[in-house]
Amino acid sequence: MPVMKSAGGRSATARLIFLIIFLCPPLWSAESEDRAVYTPGIAPPAVWGIPLGKASLETEKAMAELGRHLFFEPRLSANGCVSCATCHQPQLAFTDGLSNAVGIYGDKHPRNTPTLTNIAYAASFAWIDAGIESLEQQAKVPMFNVTPPEMGLVDETDATAKIKDDPAYQSLFKHAFPDQEQPITLAYIQKSLAAFERTLISYQSPFDRYVYAGEHDALSDGAKRGMRLFYSRRLGCVTCHHSWNLSGPIRTETEPTTEPTFHNTGLPLSDGVAARQQQESFKTPTLRNVAVTAPYMHDGSLKTLEDVIKHYEAGGQGVAKSGLLRQFTLDDGQRADLVEFMEHLTDQQFIQQAIHSDPNPDLRLPPHCSNSQSDTVASTASANN
Ligand code: HEC
Ligand code: HEC
C-alpha cells in the first residue's frame, strides 16, 4: 500500500495510527453510478463512504445546481444584500477572513464563520449545538436568526418573495422538482442548499495525493516531518482531528448515527466575551484547507497557524479545558514543519472548482447595499489584515 511505503521512518505508534486511519485500499470511488458522490472528474476515495441525505444522482445534480444559485443569491436576505456566500466564500474554503461573522445590519456574530469543507459528512452543524440534525435544517438558521440577524428574513414568504417571479428560478425549481406543482417553497430551498453543500467535498490536496495515490513527492520534506509530528502521541492532535477528514466525528450512510463530540481547547478569554463562554466546548473542525481559513477558532482569536500551535504547546488554560490536550515544546523548525504540513492540506481544485462558484459573477448588488453589511465586511476584513 502506498501509504506504508511512503511513510517510512515513523515510530511504531505513528505507524499504528496510520494503520487505523488509512487501512483501506486507495481506490477511487467504486460505488454504483447512482449512489456515487456528485463531483466532477474523479471521485473521492470510495472508503470515505456516502454522506447522509442524498437523493439519486440525477435529482441530486439538479438540486445542487439550483442550490448553487441560491447559495450565491442576495435576494434570499431581507434587504437583498447578503447571501450565504457573503460569509462562506469559495476562495477561502467557504469562510470570510473575519474574526467574527458580520450580520445583515452590521452586528458582530459571536462566532467565526466555519469552513464548509466536507460539511456533508459532519455529525453536527454548529460550533456548539448538537441539536441541528441536518444540512436542510441548518440552512434555515442564518436566514431567520435574530441573535444577531444574519440574512434578516422573518417568515417563510420572505424566503421566496424576491425570487418566485424570476423565470430563471422557475425553470431551475421545475427541473429540480419536476413532480411538484409549486416547488418554490422554503422547504425546497433548504433541500437544494443542502444538495449544493453536499458537493463541497475536498479530496485532492497534496496530502491526499501522498496518502491515496502514493505520490511520494506530493509532500515536501518539511511537510512530511510536520505530518509525523501531527500524528505523534507527544502532540496528540489526532485524538481530536481524526479520520481522513482530520476532524471530529463523521457520519455516512453506513455510520448514520455517529455521535458528535465537543471539546474545550482552553483558549484565553477574549475581550468582551462572557466568562461562561470559556467553559463551553466546541466542535473539532476539519483541518482540510485550514491554511486559507484564518483567523482561527470559534472566536477567531488566533490569527495564524503558528499562533494555534503555540496555543497548543502551552497546553491551554481554564477549568473546563479538555483532558486530551497535552503540553509540549517545539523548536522553531518543528513549528514551521507542522505549519507546512497543514499548508499541504489545501486543495486548489476545491477552492477554484467551477461547480462551487457563483453562477452570476457579474451581478451587481443594488446601490443601497453599499452602506450595509458588505461595507462592514470589507472594512473589518482590511482591519484584520
Ligand atoms: C452573516 C454570516 C453568515 C451567513 C450569511 C451564513 N452563514 Fe453559515 N455560518 C456562519 C457562522 C458564524 C456559523 C457558525 C455558527 C455557530 O455555530 O454559532 C455558520 C455555520 C454554518 C454551517 C455549520 C458549519 C459547521 O461546521 O457546523 C453551515 C452548514 C452553514 N453555516 C451554511 C450556511 C448557509 C447554507 C447559508 C445561507 C442560507 C449560510 N450559512 C449563511 C456565518 C454565516
Ligand atoms: C482536545 C481535542 C483537540 C486536540 C488534542 C487538538 N485539537 Fe485542534 N481543535 C479542537 C477544537 C475543539 C477546535 C475548535 C476550538 C475552538 O474554537 O474553541 C480546534 C481547532 C484547531 C484549529 C483551528 C481550526 C479552525 O478552522 O479555526 C487548528 C489549526 C487546530 N485545531 C490544530 C490542531 C493541532 C495542530 C493539534 C495538535 C498540536 C490540535 N489541533 C490538537 C480540538 C483539538
Give me the amino acid identity at 180: Q
In a domain? residue 257: yes
Neighbours of 327 (CB within 10 A): 9
Residues 328 and 229 in one domain: yes
Residue 57 pLDDT: 87
Atom of ligand 2 nearest to the CA of 112: 27
Least confident of 47-51, 98-102, 150-154: 47-51
227 and 327 in one domain? yes
Same domain (yes/no): 306, 215 = yes
Looking from the CA of residue 324, the nearest atom of ligand 2 is: 1
pLDDT in tens, 263-304: 999 998 766 565 666 689 999 999 999 999 999 999 999 999
Ligand 1 touching residue 126 (CB < 6 A): yes
Q: Which segment of 3-7, 191-195, 317-321 scores lowest on mean pLDDT?
A: 3-7
Average pLDDT of 169-184?
97
Q: 148: cis peptide before it, omega within 30°?
A: yes
What would the grid cell of residue 384 be? 484584520
Tens digits of residue pLDDT in 234-248: 999 999 999 999 999
Give the dihedral sign, CA 121/122/123/125. Answer: negative
Is 152 near ligand 1, meaning CB less than 6 Å away?
Answer: no
Beta bridge mates, 242: 247
- Residue 27 banded pLDDT, cuts 50, 70, 90: very low
Distance 128 CA to ligand 1 centre (A): 13
Q: Report the pLDDT averaged over residues 59-78.
A: 96
Tell me, yes or no, whether 233 lies in a domain. Answer: yes
| pLDDT in the model for residue 350 | 95
- Both 335 and 255 in a single domain? yes
Query: Has residue 361 been placed in a domain?
Result: no
pLDDT score, position 225? 98
Boundary (domain end) residue, out of 333, 349, 365: 349
Q: What percent of the chain has pLDDT above 70?
A: 83
**What's the CA-to-centroid distance between 265 and ligand 2, angstroms?**
7
Q: Is 138 in the pocket of ligand 1 (CB under 6 A)?
A: yes
**Is the per-residue pLDDT at 184 higher than 80?**
yes
pLDDT at 130: 81
- Output the ligand 2 site: residues, CB below 6 A: 235-237, 239-241, 263, 265, 267, 282, 284-285, 287, 290, 293, 296-298, 305, 308-309, 312, 322, 324-325
**pLDDT above 50 for 29:** no
Domain boundary among 177, 200, 223: 200
Same domain, 67 and 196: yes
For ligand 2, the distance from its centroid to the CA atom of residue 42, given in whole angstroms, is 30
Q: Is residue 5 over pLDDT 60? A: no
Which of residues 37 and 281 earns the better pLDDT score? 281
Atom of ligand 1 nearest to the CA of 135: 29
Residue range 292-336, pLDDT digits in tens:
999 999 999 999 999 999 999 999 988 899 999 999 999 999 999
Which of 200, 230, 253 terminates a domain? The answer is 200
Judgement on whether residues 323 and 187 belong to the same structural domain of the protein: no
The mean-pLDDT minimum among 11-20, 213-222, 363-372 falls in 11-20
pLDDT exceeding 90 applies to what percent of the chain? Answer: 75
Give the ligand 2 atom nearest the CA of 338: 35
Q: Whose CA is nearest to atom 11 of ligand 1?
A: 113
Tens-place pLDDT, residues 321-380? 999 999 999 999 999 999 999 999 999 999 999 889 999 999 889 999 975 554 444 434
What is the extent of the structural domain holding 242?
2-49+203-349
Q: Is 80 exposed, middle or buried (0-12, 13-18, 19+ CB in 10 A)?
A: middle
Ligand 2 centroid from CA 183, angstroms: 41
Do 211 and 153 sit in the same domain of this protein? no
Write down the mean pLDDT value for the chain.
87
Is 287 within the bounds of a domain? yes
Q: Rounded CA gap, 206 and 41, in Å? A: 17
Nearest ligand 1 atom to alpha carbon 82? 5
Indicate whether 375 belongs to any domain.
Answer: no
82 lines ligand 1 (CB under 6 A): yes
Judge whether 22 lies within some domain.
yes
The reply to whether 360 falls in a domain is no
The pLDDT, as a whole number, for residue 272 is: 58
- Residue 367 falls within a domain, yes or no? no
- Asked whether 75 and 184 are in contact (CB, 8 A), the reply is no
Which pLDDT value is given to residue 195?
96
Mean pLDDT to the nearest integer, 145-158: 96
- Give the model confidence (pLDDT) of 250-259 as tens digits: 999 999 999 9
Amino acid making up residue 45: P
Asked whether 84 lines ligand 1 (CB < 6 A), one says: yes
Total count of domains within the chain: 2
Which pLDDT score, from 0 to 100, does residue 55 have? 87
CA of 57 to the centre of ligand 1 (A): 26
29 within 8 A of 36, measured Cβ to Cβ: yes
Domain match, 242 and 116 both: no
Question: How far apart (Å, rounded) are the C-alpha atoms in residues 60 and 201?
Answer: 14
> What pLDDT is recorded for position 269?
77
User: Which whole number is the average pLDDT over 221-246?
Assistant: 97
**Which residues, other chains included, contact 108 with Cβ-Cβ below 8 Å and sequence gap of 6+?**
100, 101, 102, 148
Are 184 and 279 in a shared domain?
Answer: no
- Residue 32 in this model has a pLDDT that exceeds 60: no
pLDDT tens sequence across 104-123: 999 999 999 999 999 999 99
Task: State yes or no: pLDDT of 12 exceeds 80.
Answer: no
- The domain that contains 218 carries what CATH number? 1.10.760.10
Looking at residue 261, its pLDDT comes to: 95
Please tell me the predicted confidence (pLDDT) of residue 86: 97
- In this structure, the answer to whether residues 192 and 217 fall within a common structural domain is no
179, 73: one domain: yes
| Ligand 2 centroid to residue 240 C-alpha, Å | 7
Q: Is the pLDDT of residue 15 over 60?
A: no
Residues 102 and 158 in one domain: yes
